[in-house]
Amino acid sequence: MKRYLLYRLALLVPTLFGVLTLVFLFIHVTPGDPVDIMLGETASAADRQELRQILGLNKPLAEQYRSFLIKLSRADLGRSLYERRSVAAMVSERYPATLELALCAMGAALFISFPLAIWSAVRHGSWTDRATLMFSLLGLSMPNFWLGPLVMIIFAIQLGWLPVSGRDGPDHLVLPALTLGLGMTALLIRMLRANLLRVMSEDYVQTARAKGLSERSVWLKHTLRNALLSLMTVVSLQFGSLLAGSLITETIFSWPGIGRLTMQAIAMRDYPLVQGCVLAISLSYVFVNFFTDLIYRWVDPRITYGN
């Protein structure tokens, strides 16, 4: 196990490095000039040049890259071109909101998918099973930029049960979390159900049943346990797509998280801020994957890395 840990850590380094480089590269290659917006119409060319110099936009790409890396080692993500505040501060302000949304979405997904999947597996082949499958298929097929406005209209306006936008209390979480988590819910239902069905038909489970163990303990000891393993991988993989989905969902619901900040930063060509946001999202993703890999390995050492 320790060897595996070291191995994975070693692999982590180039991955991180590559992520950083890629992030740096595309921010700096985008067209559009933030200086124009900041100084407005009546500023002179000289003023513009000066500001560009202060912001460091004048230096050659290689040098900008170098200072980028050096600052990063000091956890200095630079300052937002617009708000003139530390990017690290802005990102850490918004990060908890996104984390909250993502975790809530994940929690809701687990909460809904578990019972549905179990119920479906137990009543394999019946109408309820088919209905659940269809529901999950629909859930997979609905893009969140459609679902968001739809649930907003139905639940927040027509029925008035829930608030429209913003982050002001637990009820504000419901609609965005549901929108963000629907895809994951659908996927989890299918995966869990498939795994449960598979395990249920395995030899050792039949054996346990034959031996006279109650249905309940068969379930607890074998079926669920095995199904949970694959669940973990799915959950961690999906976490990344939750972060990605947050870009759209947060915009639709005016949720003050990293996703919305990223979109705003891209629109404003606020290079340091976009960099910071993209870094935060990718690094989270990398680390979640890393830890899931470790936990997976720890829980079931039979599984080898590679496939």
Partner 1 sequence: MATRFWFYAGAALLLLLASAALFAPLLTPYDPLQQNLEQDLITHSRQHLLGTDKLGRDLLSRIIFGARISLLVGASTVGISLLIGVAVGSLSGYAGGIADLLFMRLIDILMAFPGILLAIAFSAILGPGLDHVILALALIGWTGYARLIRGEILSLRERDFVSAARALGCRPRRIIVLHLLPNLLPPLFIQATFGLAAAIVAEGSLSFLGLGVAPPTPSWGSMLNEGRQFLLVAPHLTAYPGIALMLTVLALNLIGDALQDRLESRTR
Partner 2 sequence: MPRSKYFLSIGLVLTFSLAACRPTRSDHPPDYLVAAIESYPLQLDPRYATDANGVRIGNLIYNSLLRADPESRLRPELAKSLQLLDDRTYAIDLREDVKFHNGQPLTAADVKFTYESILDPDSRSPKRGNLKLLRAIERTGSYQLRFHLFTPHSPFIEQLTLGIVPADSPANPAVPTQAPPGSGPFVLQAAEPGEQITLRRNPHYWEREPPLAGIVFRIIPDALVRILEFKKGNIDLMQNDIEPDMLPWLEKNTGADIGAYPGTTFQYIGINLTHPILKNVKVRRALAYAIDRDALVRHILKGTGTVAGGVLSPFNWAYEDNVEHWPYNPERAKQLLDEAGFPDPDGDGPLPRFRLSFKTTNIDLRQRIAEAIKEQLQRVGIELDVRSYEWAAFYSDIKKGSFHLYSLAWVGILDPDILFQIFHSASFPPAGDNRGHYSNPELDRLLEQGRATTSQQERRLIYARAQKILAQDLPYVPLWWWKNVIVKKPTVQNFIPYPDGEMISLKETRWAADTR
Q: Which is nearer to partner 1, 153 or 299 (CB)?
A: 153
Query: Would you give the binding string for partner 2 spanning residues 246-285, x where CB under 8 A is met?
Result: -----xxxx-x----x--x--xxx----------------
78 and 276 in contact (C-beta within 8 Å)?
yes
Which of partner 1, partner 2, none binds 243 (CB below 5-8 Å, type-dependent)? partner 1
Site of interaction with partner 1 (CB under 8 A): 11, 14-15, 18-19, 22, 26-27, 29-31, 125, 130, 137-138, 140-143, 145-146, 149-150, 153, 157, 240-241, 243-245, 247-248, 262-263, 266, 278, 281-282, 285-286, 289, 306-307
Residue 140 binds partner 2 (CB under 8 A): no
Q: What radius of gyration do the chain's Cα atoms show? A: 24
Compute CA distances 122 → 125, 160, 189, 215, 283, whole Å.
9, 37, 13, 11, 39
* Burial (CB count <10 Å: 0-12, 13-18, 19+), residue 127: exposed
Q: Which is nearer to partner 1, 31 or 169 (CB)?
A: 31
Compute CA distances 108 → 111, 112, 114, 143, whole Å.
5, 6, 10, 18
Is the dihedral angle over the CA atoms 115, 120, 123, 124 positive or is it negative? Answer: negative
Q: With DSSP H G I counted as helix, E B as strand and the rest as coil, what are the percentages for the chain, rounded to 5?
A: 80, 0, 20
Query: Would you give the binding string for partner 2 spanning residues 98-117, x where CB under 8 A is met?
Result: -xx--xx-xx--xx------
Between CA 29 and CA 266 the distance in angstroms is 12
- Let me know how long the chain is: 307
Which of partner 1, partner 2, none binds 240 (CB below 5-8 Å, type-dependent)? partner 1
* Shortest distance in whole angstroms from residue 32 CB to partner 1: 9
Quote the tokens at residue 173: 């979480």
Residue 137 binds partner 2 (CB under 8 A): no
169 and 196 in contact (C-beta within 8 Å)?
no
Residue 33 binds partner 2 (CB under 8 A): yes
Compute CA distances 183 → 48, 89, 255, 275, 293, whole Å.
47, 31, 19, 27, 23
Interface pick for partner 2 out of 51, 57, 140, 286 (rule CB under 8 A): 51
Residue 67 binds partner 2 (CB under 8 A): no
* Shortest distance in whole angstroms from residue 265 CB to partner 1: 11
Which of partner 1, partner 2, none binds 285 (CB below 5-8 Å, type-dependent)? partner 1
* Shortest distance in whole angstroms from residue 116 CB to partner 1: 17
C-beta atoms surrounding 3 within 10 Å:
7
| Residues contributing to the site for partner 2 (CB under 8 A) | 31-34, 36-45, 47-48, 50-51, 82-85, 90, 96, 99-100, 103-104, 106-107, 110-111, 149, 152, 156-157, 160, 163-165, 167-170, 173, 225, 228, 232, 251-254, 256, 261, 264, 267-269, 295, 298-300
